Amino acid sequence: MKFDKKLLRLYIVTDRAWLNGADLGSQVEESILNGATLVQLREKVLDSISFQSEAERIKTVCHKHGVPLIVNDNVDIALAADADGVHVGQRDMAAGDVRRKLGPDKILGVSAQTVEQAVAAQQAGADYLGVGAVFSTSTKLDAAEVGMDTLKAICAAVSIPVVAIGGIGPGTMGQLAGSGIAGVAVVSAVFAQPDIGAATRKLRALSDMIVKEDGI
């Protein structure tokens, strides 16, 4: 699937902790139907066979609605499931090695917390950057907080699009106006909510407003 920065407008990241007996595929579809533009499958507890099976299942849901599926961290699973791409952090496989393994046609996202990391990721072939945690977050307790000044500096330093992540929800999104981001990535702001559809619609409207103000 061809990458376009508009795919970053509302980027949802799955979290099995919020399932509470629900089906992940149904939750993902509900979010897509209400405005999610890209899905990242993050799995920390499944074995490789189960992870690949889940990736293939969620990909079917995503592609049914023309939305790409990105796999978190695991390049081999992304390739085996023929996902649309992979997202890696600074402690995962180096971005240049990931790009060589993926080839030129898959989407590569890289996490960055500094301008130096951002520039290096772009040079290594990243299609987009995930920058955060912009605000404090309970979803990823080991995530270092990245201030607004750094977020703006990263957006200004690279030509590839940037998505903000970490502690983002209706109460914090307004602070991102003017930063230069192409969209926001959320976890609990969607999956921990009692009404996933309503939560997604609200977040999409706010993200559209922020990005439009930036002229992106």
Going by the DSSP 8-state scheme, the letter that residue 42 receives in this structure is -
Contact 109, 87 (CB under 8 A): yes
To the nearest 10°, report the CA torsion of 88, 96, 47, 79: 110
Choose the catalytic residue: 5, 57, 101, 140. Answer: 140
132 CA to centre of own chain? 11
Residue 145 amino acid letter: E
* Residue 111 annotated in active site: yes
* Residue 140 annotated in active site: yes
Residue 97 amino acid letter: D
Instruction: Tell me how far apart the alpha carbons of residues 208 and 44 are, in angstroms, rounded to a whole number.
Output: 31
Contact 71, 87 (CB under 8 A): yes
Choose the catalytic residue: 9, 106, 111, 188. Answer: 111
Choose the catalytic residue: 42, 59, 99, 204. Answer: 42
In this structure, what are the phi and psi dihedrals at residue 87, rounded to the nearest 5 degrees? -120, 130
Beta bridge mates, 29 = none
Active-site residues, by number, are 42, 111, 140
